[in-house]
């Protein structure tokens, strides 16, 4: 029985020593990587000892474990083009042989988060140039844009200009909800 207890204690102590050794190796490796990328952060985290540094790093990660602002929060160009190609009014006009022909699409991120302004919101502006034989159909499309939907932000400025059968409009896209699952 004494032999069994001695072996158990030896195994526990040996496992503990191995775990401490692996923890020390991991902490050293993490510190070396951090020193190469951000010496100030490494120095501030690893002031006392390596284990304390790992705890500080884990705490910092948990503290800032939020959705990154660099995930696009508005529709991208592909989604915009998909929305335009499946827009109910544009499809109905296509079927009635009086289509609106989109001639030019410009997509511009007016504002977005960056290093100096992490809280900056995404603002995407779209400029469309299209032609229509019928000014009534162009007007219907303008009214649809003014009403807004999941893409068009009706609270932002919407411009409209016409020259003959060529029409230009600009509007801002809505931001999406959170991307986090």
Q: Where are the domains of the chain?
A: 2-63, 77-172
Q: Are 116 and 108 in contact (CB under 8 A)?
A: no
Cα–Cα separations (whole angstroms), residue 122 to 95, 133, 159, 170, 172: 35, 35, 20, 17, 10
pLDDT in tens, the chain (181 residues): 777 777 777 777 777 787 777 777 877 777 777 777 777 767 766 666 666 777 777 777 666 655 566 778 889 999 999 999 999 999 999 999 889 999 999 999 999 887 778 888 889 999 999 999 999 999 999 999 999 898 999 999 999 999 999 999 999 999 886 443 3
**Structure tokens given for 88:** 């109910």
pTM of the model: 0.60
Q: Specify the fold of 77-172.
A: Gyrase A; domain 2 (3.30.1360)
Strand order from edge to edge, sheet including 101-111: 101-111, 123-131, 166-172, 159-163
């Amino acid at each position: 029985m004494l032999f069994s207890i001695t072996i158990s204690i030896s195994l526990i102590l040996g496992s503990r020593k191995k775990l401490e050794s692996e923890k020390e190796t991991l902490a050293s490796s993490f510190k070396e990587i951090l020193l190469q990328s951000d010496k100030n952060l490494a120095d501030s985290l690893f002031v006392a000892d390596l284990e304390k540094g790992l705890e500080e790093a884990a705490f910092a990660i948990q503290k800032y474990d939020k959705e990154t602002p660099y995930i696009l929060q508005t529709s991208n160009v592909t989604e915009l083009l998909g929305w335009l190609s499946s827009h109910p009014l544009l499809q109905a006009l296509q079927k009635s042989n009086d289509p609106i022909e989109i001639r030019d699409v410009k997509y511009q991120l007016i504002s977005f988060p960056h290093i100096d302004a992490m809280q900056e919101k995404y603002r995407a502006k779209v400029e469309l140039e299209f032609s229509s034989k019928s000014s009534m159909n162009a007007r219907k499309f303008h009214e649809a844009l003014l009403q807004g939907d999941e893409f068009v932000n009706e609270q932002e400025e919407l411009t409209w200009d016409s020259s003959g059968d060529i029409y230009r409009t600009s509007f801002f896209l809505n931001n999406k909800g959170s991307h986090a699952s």
